[in-house]
Amino acid sequence: MKAILEIANDEKMHQRALEVARNLAAGKAQEADLHIGFESAAQLLAELTPERLRTLETLRSTGAQSVYALAKALGRNYSNVHGDIARMMALGLVEREGNTVRAPFDELEIHVPLLAQAA
């Protein structure tokens, strides 16, 4: 399963949701990938910082763990890691299971069109 991060306005994301709903109603199989839309490439890059990407990579390689253990593994301040985890949970990139967090995706796919009308 992968997370697809893309530049997509609300209308595009709404159309995708309608298409999924129509397919489900028709009994068609749906992909399990998560699509996350951002208004701009700048917003996407502001959310997926190098430290957050490293955090996701560490979670995938070491498995679910507490935020405290993750901060130690990363050599980072607990409160900074906690804040990053909270934001990535809000985006859907990280899940909490009891006292541990995990990255449920095998890969991230990023789509950034270079033409404004492509969004």
Cα 24 from chain centre: 23
The answer to whether 43 and 12 are in contact (CB under 8 A) is no
| pLDDT tens-digit profile, the chain (119 residues) | 899 999 987 677 667 667 767 766 777 766 668 889 998 999 999 999 999 999 999 999 999 999 999 999 999 999 999 999 999 999 999 999 999 999 999 999 999 988 765 44
Q: Does 107 fall in a domain?
A: yes
Q: What CATH number is attached to the domain comprising 83? A: 1.10.10.10
Token output for 60: 């995938």
Q: Does 118 fall in a domain?
A: no
Range(s) of the domain holding residue 12: 2-113
Q: How far apart are CA 60 and CA 45, in angstroms?
A: 20
Which residue is it, tokens 């890969």? 107
Q: What's the total number of domains in the chain?
A: 1
Q: Does 119 fall in a domain?
A: no
Q: Does 43 fall in a domain?
A: yes
Contacts of 61 (CB under 8 A, 6+ apart): none
